[in-house]
């Protein structure tokens, strides 16, 4: 649970402690990723790119960051 210093989220299948109050956009940038090149799924719902800055990451959120890779 949160101790005020950090919150726990499930990020790409792994538990991760992040600072509270981050927007999804800030989380993505903190991972050195370009928000224009990825798609965010938050708790199994796709988060439109235009909403990344307004939505805050909350304790227990399940976040998936996906992109395109080589495939046939």
49-54, long-range: CB within 8 Å, 24+ apart, which pairs? Answer: 51/24, 52/23, 52/24, 52/25, 52/28, 53/23, 53/24, 53/25, 54/23
What minimum distance in Å lies between the beta carbon of 7 and another protein? 17
Residue span 22-61 as binding mask against another protein, x where in contact by CB under 8 A, dash where not: ---------xxxx--xxx-x--x-x-xx------------
| Site of interaction with another protein (CB under 8 A) | 11-14, 31-34, 37-39, 41, 44, 46, 48-49, 64-72
């Amino acid at each position: 649970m949160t101790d005020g210093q950090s919150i726990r989220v499930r990020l790409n299948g792994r538990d991760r402690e992040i600072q509270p109050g981050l927007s999804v956009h800030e989380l993505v940038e903190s991972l050195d990723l370009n928000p224009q090149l990825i798609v965010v799924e938050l708790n199994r719902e796709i988060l439109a790119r235009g909403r990344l800055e307004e939505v805050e990451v909350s304790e227990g959120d399940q976040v998936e960051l996906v992109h395109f890779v080589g495939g046939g």
